[in-house]
Amino acid sequence: MDVGVLTELILAIIALLSVAGAWTTWRRNPLFSTRSALHSIAIVLLAIVGLVAAIIAAVNFIEGKSEVVAGITLGAVILFGAFGLIFVIQTFATPKEAQLHTALPPSAKLVNVYRRKVHKAAKITAMVAACFGLLGWILPGNFGFVAFAFGGFTLVMGAFMLSIWYVTSRNFDRSLTAMISNYWIHWQYPQEQWNQWIEIQAQRAQASPLPVFVFRRDWRKLILPFGIIAGGTLIFGPGSFVYRALYVLGICGLILVLGLLSSRDSRNIPGRIRSKMRAAAPETYFGQDGVFCDGDFTPWLSMNVYLLSASLDWRPPHSLLFIFEKVLPNPYTGNQLVEIRQSVLIPPNAEGDISRLGERLAVRCPKARISFGGAP
């Protein structure tokens, strides 16, 4: 079999597995219905057709133009096309129940919860790209070329992904601002009570299971994916053998470092909880779009996060326990489902608030299990 045909076949299989995984995951979403699914698919396909038509038009336009003009034109079309695709999906393909409320009163001041994370990621991306550029300047020959290639890739992909992330984050900031301006329930806690709650949350996290990835235990699991990456790159990849080998080492090394950092990060969860909650305001907001607590805003019902259950946690101090399910897209292993547990401390004399919250959640999330029962 021809190498090119084999490569296309592998990519087609990966694409089909990705689509099958996405469809299976979407069927679990409370928003799923055959009609809404067909409506969303039709809109997304039309948007993709429009983007492909724009790219083809751009390719015809740059024919015979200089490389600079061609690069700028294609980059602009792809960038604005991606933004347009996201806008179409969020506006027309997303079910009405999952659309965030972003209309703000004139006096509202836009919060900076989500965009702050984008700004931090942008600084890290710039530093990584600068480090690769410095290595490319210092290292000789192919080694310098590989460093420049990694730096350019980091810079281009970072600018592209960060731009999309910023647009999405701004939308979440607007939704959070709207919810704070027009909330269902607002609880505030004395600082002493909040500090005690922080320690209780950290102690509960300390008793959680070990991290998913532990190098001494799980290093053998990396052999197969690293072998696939190495085999595919060394056999089918372009460039010299040295370039391909360095590329494999770089990618596998990056994956290993990310796994080790994730494992280390998981062990330090109690410390992270303390730091995050101390930096957050001692308050909780419940609203139409979701719950804002511990500095995190979690939507009740969206395309990738949705409420599964809400109940009373009778462990002292009494709290509300919300269990969400989050979809993590993965084109290689299929979409992963992660459970999110959000505990909310109950202030004194909140029986009426809890009853009212249960009634509103039953309407907002009809497929979730709401079992507050009697207030503690």
Helices (H), the chain: 3-28, 34-62, 67-88, 113-138, 141-181, 191-206, 215-218, 223-236, 241-267, 269-279, 351-364
**Would you state the pLDDT for residue 359?**
92
**Would you state the pLDDT for residue 322?**
96
Measure Cα distances from 133 to 126, 146, 249 in Å.
10, 10, 18
**Would you state the pLDDT for residue 91?**
63
Structure tokens at 78: 């792809």
Q: Which of the residues in the chain have pLDDT under 70?
A: 1-29, 31-34, 36-37, 83, 86-95, 207-219, 221, 236-239, 259-267, 329-335, 374-376
CA distance linking residue 146 with residue 126, whole number of Å: 18
Which amino acid makes up residue 177? T
**Would you state the pLDDT for residue 15?**
52
Tell me if the pTM is above 0.85. Answer: no
**Would you state the pLDDT for residue 299?**
92
**Would you state the pLDDT for residue 12?**
53
**Would you state the pLDDT for residue 18?**
56
**Would you state the pLDDT for residue 33?**
67
Count of all residues that appear for the chain in the document: 376
**Would you state the pLDDT for residue 225?**
74
